[in-house]
Amino acid sequence: MSLSGIILGLINVAIVVIILLLVGAVAHWILRNLGWGLPTEVERLYIGLVALIALYLIVALLFGLPAVHILRGTGPVSVPAIAAVPPIIAPEPR
């Protein structure tokens, strides 16, 4: 793996961590405005979970392991394969 690939992977890990922390901060803000407080232990568990996710992503990046894919396709589809599918709206040839 090239240095640029590792740097881009680390930037992706940082983006995931920031998004997860932002989701946690928004949930904490909403719960606080509703009058429900979160115990400190729950906050620490959430931060620990985010740290474990970041560690997994870094290890997967460095060792070339596949990360968890939420959305999976059927695989790479080439342009000729897409072009071979007949259009639905096109009229029938005479």
By CB atoms closer than 10 A (0-12, 13-18, 19+), residue 57 is buried
Residue 51 pLDDT: 96
Quick check: 77 pLDDT over 80? no
Residue 2 pLDDT: 80
The more confident residue out of 6 and 29 is 29
Residues in the chain: 94
Of the listed ranges 19-33, 38-52, 67-81, the one predicted with least confidence: 67-81
Residue 4 pLDDT: 85
Given a contact cutoff of 8 angstroms between Cβ atoms, the answer to whether 39 and 90 are in contact is: no
By CB atoms closer than 10 A (0-12, 13-18, 19+), residue 53 is middle
Residue 34 pLDDT: 93
pLDDT band at 61 (very low <50, low <70, confident <90, very high): confident
Given a contact cutoff of 8 angstroms between Cβ atoms, the answer to whether 61 and 13 are in contact is: yes
